[in-house]
Chains A and B, each alone.
Chain A
Amino acid sequence: MTIQELMERANMKESGLALAWLKDAFHLLQSNSTEDLKTVKYNIIDGERDYLIPQDMIALNNISVKDTSDDKYKRIRRLTVQPITSEDTDPE
C-alpha cells in the first residue's frame, strides 16, 4: 500500500507531515513488537568487558555469544545486578 493510498484513506494532503507521522508510527510499532529485526555482530576481545549498544536501536530483542565448539550463537542471560567492579584499570 503506497503512502499516497494511506494519505487518501486518512483524508490527508501534506505528504511531508504524513511521512513524519508514518515514521513515528513505525517507531511505535518497532518499540512494542518485533516487526523488523536487525542484527549486528561485534568481535569479543580478551579482557574487554564493555561493548556499545547499537546507536540506532529502538528495542533490544536478544543477545547471543558464539559457542565456538559448535559454531552456534546461543542466547545469554541478563544479570539484574551489576557485579561490584565499576571500573577496572588492569583487566588482565
Chain B
Amino acid sequence: MSYKTEATWFYYLKGRSIELYQRSDYGRTDTLGSYKIRLPDDSSGTYFIYPDEDITDGLRIEYTSLDTPFVSEALEDMQIFTDGSDISFSGNQISGVGTSDGFASGDKIRIIGSKSNDGDYTTTSAGSTTLDDSTTTFTTETAGESITVYQIPKTVTTSSADESSHVNLNRMLSLACVDYLKAMLADRDGDIERKEYYMREFWGKVGDNESNKRKISMSLPASPYAMR
C-alpha cells in the first residue's frame, strides 16, 4: 500500500521517459500479506528504490497537448449545466436532465458526483428531461446523489475543421489569434516591424487573459516541509 506519496515518490525526466523512484528509509523491504516488512539481511538507510508495488492507474500525468485545437461550438456559448439530486441513470438514459435545461442531441457532456457514472459522454438523443447515449450502458443508479452535468467542448478533428469551426479558446484568446494571423501575414510579406507589433499585441492579450483569472483572492496549501 502506497502512502504519503507526495513525500516518498520522485521522478526524473530522461528524454521521452519518466523514471519513477521511491524513497526508502527502512532498508530493503518486502510485502508479506498486506504488511510491509524490512528484510533482516540489509542495513537501514535512506536511498531510492524502484516502485515496489503494482498500482492500477497509479501514475497520473497532467499536460498540455495539441489534441483539441478546434471545437464545434464557441466556449462562451457552452454555459449549460444542471445539478441536483433528482438525476438517475438506467440503460442508455440519464433522467432528470434534458432539453429543458438547455442540452441538445449531439452535445458532449461531463458528469460529476455520481456513484459510478462519472465521465464524458456524447448524447445521441435528447428529451425534455432525458438524455440518451446509445453507445453507453450506464450503471443503474437511482436519484439521490448530488450530481452535476455540464456541456464540454466537442472536438472537431483537424482534418475536418473548416471556417465554421471554432478555436478551442475563449473570446480573449481568439482575439489574440487574430493578432497572430496578422503577424504571420506581415511575416509572409517580409514586414518584420509590423510582425513584431502584432506579436506584442498577441502576447499582450495572452497576458490580459491570464491576469483576468487572478483578480481574486487566493489561498495556497502549505507544502509538506513548510515552516510552521
- Stretch of B6-14, B106-114, B122-130 that contacts chain A: B6-14
Q: Which of B67-75, B86-94, B131-139 lies at the interface with chain A?
A: B67-75
Q: A residues 74-92 with Cβ under 8 Å of B?
A: 74-79, 81-83, 88, 91
> Given contacts A21-B184, A76-B6, are A49 and B69 in contact (CB under 8 A)?
no
B residues in contact with A83, CB < 8 Å? 12, 21, 48
Contacts of B68 in A (CB 8 A): 36
- Complex CA–CA separation, A57 to B26 (angstroms): 36
Pairwise interchain contact B5-A52, C-beta atoms closer than 8 A: no
B41 at interface, CB cutoff 8 A: no
* B226 at the A interface (CB under 8 A): no
Most B CB atoms within 10 A — which of A11, A51, A52?
A51
A44 adjacent to B51 (CB under 8 Å): yes
Q: Is the CB of B10 within 8 A of A78?
A: yes
Residue B214 is within 8 A (CB to CB) of chain A in the complex = no
CB-contacts of B165-194 with A (<8 A): 165-169, 171, 173-178, 180-182, 184-185
Q: Is B163 located at the chain interface by the 8 A CB criterion?
A: yes
The reply on B32 being an interface residue by CB < 8 A is: no
With A19-B158, A49-B19, A50-B17 already in contact, 6 other A-B pairs whose C-beta atoms are closer than 8 Å = A1-B171, A25-B176, A44-B51, A64-B60, A76-B10, A77-B10
B4, B54, B64, B161, most chain A CB atoms within 10 A: B64
B43 within 8 A of A: no
B58 touches A3 (CB 8 A): no
Assess the A65–B17 pair: CB atoms within 8 A.
Answer: no
Given contacts A22-B181, A46-B54, contact A62 B10 (CB under 8 A): no
Mark A32-55 against chain B: 1 for CB-CB distance below 8 A, else 0.
111111111111111111111111
Chain A count of residues within 8 A CB distance of the other chain: 74
Partner of A79, one of B12, B54, B166: B12
Closest-by-CB residue of B relative to A38 is B65
Is B80 in contact with chain A by the CB < 8 A criterion? no
Q: Do the beta carbons of B59 and A30 come within 8 Å of each other?
A: no
Residue B62 interfacial (CB < 8 Å): yes
Which of chain A's residues have a CB closer than 8 A to the CB of B20? 44, 48-51, 65
How far is B1's CA from A66's CA once the two chains are assembled, in angstroms?
10
A–B Cβ pairs within 8 angstroms, 22 of them? A1-B74, A3-B162, A3-B164, A6-B177, A6-B178, A22-B70, A25-B202, A26-B66, A26-B167, A29-B206, A48-B51, A52-B18, A53-B17, A54-B63, A63-B62, A64-B60, A65-B58, A67-B6, A69-B2, A74-B6, A77-B11, A78-B11
Note all chain A residues with C-beta closer than 8 A to B59.
Answer: 41-44, 51, 63-66
Measured between beta carbons, the chain A residues less than 8 angstroms from B216 are none
